[in-house]
A and B are shown apart, each in its own frame.
Chain A
Amino acid sequence: MITGNVTSIYGKDINTDDIIPASFLQQSNDRKFFKDYAFDRYDPAFRERCKQTTANIVIGGENFACGSSREQAVYAIQENNVVCVIAQSYPDIFYRNSLSNGLVLITLPDTSSFQIGDELRVDLDTYSIENVTQGTTLRFEMTPDDCDTFKQGGMIGRVRNHLAELLQASK
């Protein structure tokens, strides 16, 4: 169960340059570095809002985090104590990058009901979102495989095993 509060609501076509501008990318290889520059040119108040709440939920529109493949966009969101993003759709690169890091992405055809401050309980086992504040429950769809990968925080275990298989076979 993921619980948190809605602290940011964005419109459609938010891009990864909005989330983390290019000029910060080569300043560090440490993912924590990007925390302080999230949404720096688009919505610098994002970071301050995230500090006020221990578990933040970001609401997006269509095509959330389009554009550049920079995985630092995932770090910038995640390191600000964001536990989950709920948007209408995501382009594939960002979706894959989020899977790799266990940033849970929920897809809902309509995200217009959410309000700033709403307390949400996201249940990956029943594919449901309980909006505690509004007293409503929404269902979402997700493949069981993606659900497992989000829960495991990525697929590194599987990749390590695959590498071991390959090294064994080449012995």
Chain B
Amino acid sequence: MGQTMVEKIVSRQVGRKVSAGEKIERLPITKLFFNDVIGPPAIEGFRANFTEVFERYGTAPRVFDPKRLYFLPDHSVPAFTIQIAEGVKLMKEFARETGAKMYKEGDGIEHVVLIEDGQIVPWDIVLGTDSHTDTNGALGTLAFGVGTTDSLYAMATGHLYDFMVPESVKFELTGTLPKGVFSKDIILHIIGVMGAGGCSKRVAEFTGPGVRSLPMDARTTICNMAVEMSARTGIMAYDDVVADFLQGRAQWPVEPIDSDPDADYAQVVTIDLSSLEPIVAFPHKPANTTPISRLQDMIARSQREPTPDFCTIDDDIITDAFLGSCTNARYEDLVAGAAIMRGHQVHPEVNLIVIPASRKVYQRAMQEGLLQVFIEAGANVESSNCGPCFGSHMGVMSSKAKMISSSNRNYKGRMGSPEARIFLASPATVIASAIEGRITDPRKYL
């Protein structure tokens, strides 16, 4: 029996052949990163739990490997409270003490910057203190979001404890995407089919000719949202697109990876990309999806049979739009948005916020005139951070707000008031909707 990529990566790390279902008491990891939300409490926890052990051995506190440890202030920067500023300062001091890499406010979002900088390579086992760490799986890595405790243990010893090797679900993508349909629509469609818990305890492996035809940015969008069907993580094989992306960029040795043809899967799901159209997820969960052609039917259904996580929607009017986040604010996303925005204005009743995912994306978008398109159309363009997706700054929503967002979560209260409504869609759909002030099929602009 062959192995999945997950089984192969774990096998290499532990030095023996393992299969799904096995428990690994100590799994060595290869990369670890922290954001400004979990970094500060994790540093405090690291000191509280391990200082005595270091003292016992007469060594200064040290991390498992400073070259493999990164701190990225991205969620709430530039800081807007003293507590947040203190947290970022603590990360800076700790990084200086331990030799770890500290990024600056505005360098960008964790799941974008490390990939962009060539820090993530196939065969890595990556831990990040954010559930969207699954994004990194697009490079053939095994990437897990972890909480404070797992992360501070890993910072000390470089291990994840009591790890159960997960099974994989194979998503076989065939055909090619029609015009105006994007990778965001693929993953929203898949989440809608699988449900919010549909991939629980399993890794979502995305494969097939439909994946191989997608550029790198589009792939990360798909892996990013694997967690929205509760997948353990998302993963994709190494191929020519990954090879080209890592050429001249990778800071670590690059080695191909793929699952064996006879690997064992818990489930196989085939998706014909040519049958897809733009998808919109209704409040309050990403699995509430509808093809945009059936938008009015979905609105009617929300009025007929609302539930706590599928609330009543009066109409297709929107008041806010967000093009940003670790899901959809990379270069290609801004290109797709700007292609629709060009020559149009943001609707007078809509607040459009555009946040490039990293400083490098920002600079390229500026040089190529993309930011100018958004700014001249009346958008607010902000420096790189997680923005309104985290619900704490740069566009917190009022009780009457109706947002269409390129981000990954539309939970009740996620972006501000619990009365606000959040729809999820592709960057193209977000911008088309920002122009019209109502949820709009982007294909009419192409």
Binding site for B on A (CB under 8 A): 11-13, 15, 17-18, 21-23, 25-29, 41-42, 62-63, 66-71, 74, 89, 91-93, 96-97, 99-101, 145, 149, 154-156, 158-160, 162-164, 166-168, 171
Contact = CB atoms under 8 A, between A and B. Distances in A.
A167 B59 contact: yes
Q: For chain B, which range describes its interface: under 10, 10 to 19, 20 to 34, or 35 or more residues? A: 35 or more
A2 to B, nearest CB: 21
Contacts of A89: 197, 200
A22 B230 contact: no
Contact of B129 (A67, A69, A167): A69
Nearest to A16: B131
A63 B37 CA distance: 24
A100 B81 contact: no
A159 B162 contact: no
Given A18-B412, A41-B418, 13 more contacts: A13-B309, A15-B411, A17-B414, A22-B391, A26-B40, A27-B81, A63-B230, A66-B196, A69-B130, A69-B145, A93-B145, A97-B148, A158-B161
Given A13-B309, A17-B409, A25 B49 contact: no
Contacts, number: 149
The prevalent SS among residues of A at the interface is helix
Nearest to B309: A13
Contacts of A163: 50, 53, 156-157
Contacts of B197: 12-13, 62-63, 66, 89, 91
10 contacts: A13-B285, A22-B391, A22-B414, A26-B87, A27-B83, A41-B413, A69-B38, A159-B161, A164-B56, A171-B57
Interface string B114-151: 00000000000000011101000000000011111110
Contacts of B364: none
Contacts of B130: 68-69
Given A28-B83, A66-B197, A93 B147 contact: yes
B153 A17 contact: no
Interface in B74-121: 75-76, 81, 83-84, 87
A26 B78 CA distance: 13
Query: When A and B form their complex, which 6 residue pairs have the shortest distance between CB atoms, in order from nearest?
Result: A63-B197, A41-B413, A71-B147, A100-B149, A97-B147, A167-B57
Nearest to B43: A29
A11 B41 contact: no
A161 B175 CA distance: 53
B239 interface: no
